[in-house]
Structure 1
């Protein structure tokens, strides 16, 4: 149980950090003030979720996990390329929605994989999935 708890929390930590990095990377391409506000709102939400996850990791005797270097570099590279080719708010919304979808899929998979994790770690993972779903919903307006 303890191993499953730590592994799930590490995935939550890594996912939140990836989301925060991506939001910060996309922010410079945004012109619509309302979209900037949405990005800021979810940046704060992901930072809070990451902080909550870090506390749980510490409680369970483990450290936060950074996103994998290759995954981070590839994500950053692809985002830069796509935004350099098409620098509009709609493209930012599409990329953010793609990121949300990846987060929802991977965390849902980890929730199922680490089914013996503690209820509090499963709850925070589900909270992150819900935040991603809400973020996606709000981004639809900018397509």
Structure 2
């Protein structure tokens, strides 16, 4: 059976990637507001740009087939924002910020890995986008480790 971008699983996987990129960008914005450390700000900026590019690629692929992007869940967004605000209010050093970013990346890796497994009939291009997102998150975790 030939898999194509128009398949239901392809659309759902791309929408999960789109949502994940948006969630990551919002989290990085929230944390960046508390970060003064130059090295950490540069890391955030680097991965922010990578998430923006990937989000654009997801949107472009979804636009080509007439599908909408997906927004992160309101509860997940609110919970992440509240957790960031509370933890950074108690301790706003770079270690705390790096830990929060690492937690977010790990949740992103888990979510996108689950989506790749769930949407098994997604086409190769959609899976490649999802794997790109997982790799970005994984590399970010690796780059954050020396700061924790």
Partner of 1:64: 69
Partner of 1:53: 58
Report runs of 4+ in structure 1 exceeding 2 Å deviation. Answer: none
- Report the TM-score, using the length of structure 2 for normalisation: 0.94
Query: 2: CA distance between counterparts of 1:60 and 1:17?
Result: 20
Secondary structure at the residue paired with 1:67? coil
**Unpaired runs of at least 5, structure 1:** none
- Number of matched pairs: 143
**Unpaired runs of at least 5, structure 2:** none
Partner of 2:32: 27
Note the aligned Cα RMSD (angstroms). 0.8
Partner of 1:89: 94
Asked if 1:100 corresponds to 2:105, the answer is yes
- Report the TM-score, using the length of structure 1 for normalisation: 0.98
Q: C-alpha offsets along residues 9-45 of structure 1, whole Å, 9 cap, x if unaligned?
A: 1100000000000001100111210110000000000
Partner of 2:117: 112
